[in-house]
Structure 1
Amino acid sequence: MKIKLFFLGVSLLLCSVGYSQKNLNNYKYVVVQNKYDFLKEADQYQLNSLTKFLFEKYGFEAVLEGENYPEEMAFNRCLALSSDVLKDSGMFKTKLSVQLKDCNGAVVFTSQIGESREKEYKLAYHEALRDAFKSIAILNHKYEPKKVVSAPTPKVKKEEIATANNEKEVARLKQELEVLKKEKEASAKAEKPIESQPKKVAPVAKSLPAKAQILYAQETPTGFQLVDSTPKVVFKIKKTGRKDLFLVEGEDSVIYKQDNKWIYEYNTDAGVQQKELNIKF
């Protein structure tokens, strides 16, 4: 009976390790805290530095909290896990475990409890932490990007219908924007005093990103915000009834997709202008 229970325990452990390995391989980075709750100072006993070292030793790219994050991680925080070291109570032993959470705050992994009987704090914490990392070492972590399942290619007729509907929606919005522009101009003229000779005002050049500059789309409750590599918010756009058509907040303009290109269309004193954008969703 004891032998059966032993083999059952081993089987469950191997299954757990296999699942954790597959799950954690989708994460490339680990963010290590500067200070743990059970210590008084940042990196006290060099425990945080040791944590970073051990994560890097076992296949992760580790960064300390507050450091300059890699560009891909800055735009996609879900590539990274947040780590924490927890201390368990013990009369004669120092007990530590390592916990990993995803970008939504959900716990995705908790290590075994590492133990030490050392009396000197630094030696005890280091030994217990290394012992806890044994369960991370056996994962043989290797980053594997999540596979994106491509949607099946729709039939040509459906594509033609969708394109026609999209063009109609764009045309309708253009008409509404033109009407809105004329109403604003009429309202402005009514408020201005009559001048003997109207002054000619040159259209103000709009500061737009170069076509080659990539704008990254970050989802918001109403749509997206498009940021450059600074990162600086260049546009805030709202969703419409069409997935490839957006209204630009604070402007009489739209951004839509045409012939697999993103077009920014806006009104100026010289008329309707267009600019091609390089957007990554």
Structure 2
Amino acid sequence: MKKTLLVSILFLSVSISAVAQKTINNYKYVIIPLKFDFLSEKDQYRLNTLTRHLFKQKGFIALFDKEEFPEELIDDRCKALFADVEKEKSGLFSTRVNITLKDCLGKDVYKTETGSSREKDFKKAYNEALKSAFSSIEFLDYKYKPAEAKVEKGDDEMKELAVNVDKVKTETQTEDIKVSTKNGETALKDETLYAQEKEYGYQVVDATPKVVMQLMKTTATNVYIVKDQNAIVYKEDGFWYYSENNGELKEPKTLDIKF
């Protein structure tokens, strides 16, 4: 009963604090590949260099994918957009390209209108078409602003909610939650985790609620890749396990996850 009440309160707190949908204004970094797929060489026609230059002019911190990243970007690549230039099917006398910006999960954040050029020289044609496509981004009036959580309830309601969460957490901490380990023995588990569904899979939080890990979908049933870890989370015989392999396969750990 107490655990059920705690879960209800936690999900209520999540529902009243919604993260705003991200736009390009929520990113200050753009990562550009040194080679675009439709070309045969790195920085062919200086197209990659031009792409970086255009984003820098717009106010982004633009980086090539092979150069050294700032520390905050090394810690969290999701702070950056990933730019790609794609060639579209062109007419006999035209070159057509567009620019796509994706997030760290490969989801499209923005795609430009198609830019085109009727220049015969390839370098001139691609550079002109790229600048034409980039004009779509020019109109967006980019200004970096970190994404923040929006709180829709008043301060008094939030304070009351926090008191209720603390009260139930204190009561729940006095209970031992028993789970079965893989070898059949019984062990004590002092923390229950909660899985929140996302487009990429699940975000796993503790009772704080603090994000513990992110589980990425796979094609296998009840098997997830742990983001930024050499590990998977999987279900077997009715129980969830965390299995890590950093060059040496470790004994799976039992997890108490509520989906």
TM range (shorter): 0.5 to 0.7
Where do 5+ consecutive residues of structure 2 fail to align?
1-21, 180-184, 188-210, 217-222, 234-241, 245-249, 254-259
Distance 1:129 1:157, change over 3 A: closer
Match of 2:81, SS state, is strand
When residues 157 and 37 of structure 1 are mapped into structure 2, their CA distance, relative to the original with a 3 A threshold, is closer
Deviation per CA, 1:12-49, whole angstroms, max 9, x where unpaired? Answer: xxxxxxxxxx8221222211111112211010111101
Bigger RCO (CA 8 Å, 6+ sep):
2
TM-score using structure 1 length:
0.52
Matched residues in 1 for 2:64 and 2:108: separation?
19
Q: Matched residues in 1 for 2:145 and 2:111: separation?
A: 20
Secondary structure at the counterpart of residue 124 of structure 2: helix
2:72 paired with 1:39: no
> In 2, Cα distance between the equivalents of 1:155 and 1:106?
34
1:207-243 C-alpha deviation (Å, 9 max, x unpaired): xxxxxxxxx965357999899xxxx99xx99xxxxxx
Change (3 A) 1:225 1:41: closer
Q: CA deviation at 1:59?
A: 1.9
Match in the other structure for 2:214? 219
The residue type paired with residue 114 of structure 1 is G
Change (3 A) 1:149 1:122: same
How many residue pairs match? The answer is 182
Between the aligned partners of 2:99 and 2:168, the Cα distance in structure 1 is 54
Aligned equivalent of 1:213: none
| Residue 91 (str. 1) matches residue 92 (str. 2) | yes
| Residues 92 and 158 of structure 1, relative CA distance in 2, 3 Å threshold | closer
Larger Rg: 1
Query: 5 Å matches for 1:87-236?
Result: 87-88=87-88, 89-149=90-150, 152-153=158-159, 154=161, 156=163, 158-169=165-176, 218-220=213-215
Matches within 5 A, 1:5-24: 23-24=23-24
Letter in 2 for 1:166: Q
Structure 1: tracts of 5 or more residues without a match: 1-21, 174-178, 182-215, 238-246, 254-281
Aligned-pair identity in percent equals: 39
Which segment drifts farther, 92-101 or 145-154?
145-154
Aligned partner of 2:66 in structure 1 is 66
Counterpart of 1:12 in structure 2 is none
Following TM superposition, by how much is the alpha carbon of 1:72 offset from its aligned partner in structure 2, in angstroms? 2.1
SS at match of 1:78: helix
Q: CA RMSD in A?
A: 3.9
Letter in 2 for 1:53: H
Q: 1:156 to 1:126 in 2, by over 3 A?
A: closer
The amino acid across from 2:99 in the alignment is V
Structure in which a larger fraction of residues adopt helix: 1
* Residue 57 (str. 1) matches residue 57 (str. 2): yes
- Residue pair 1:117, 1:124 contacting (<8 A) in 2 also: yes
- Matched to 1:143, the amino acid is Y
Q: Which structure has greater strand proportion?
A: 2
Q: TM-score normalised to the size of structure 2? A: 0.56
CA distance, structure 1, for counterparts of residue 40 and residue 59 of structure 2? 29
Paired residues of 1:98 and 1:132 also in contact (CA < 8 A): yes
Contact kept in structure 2, 1:27 and 1:79, CA below 8 Å = yes
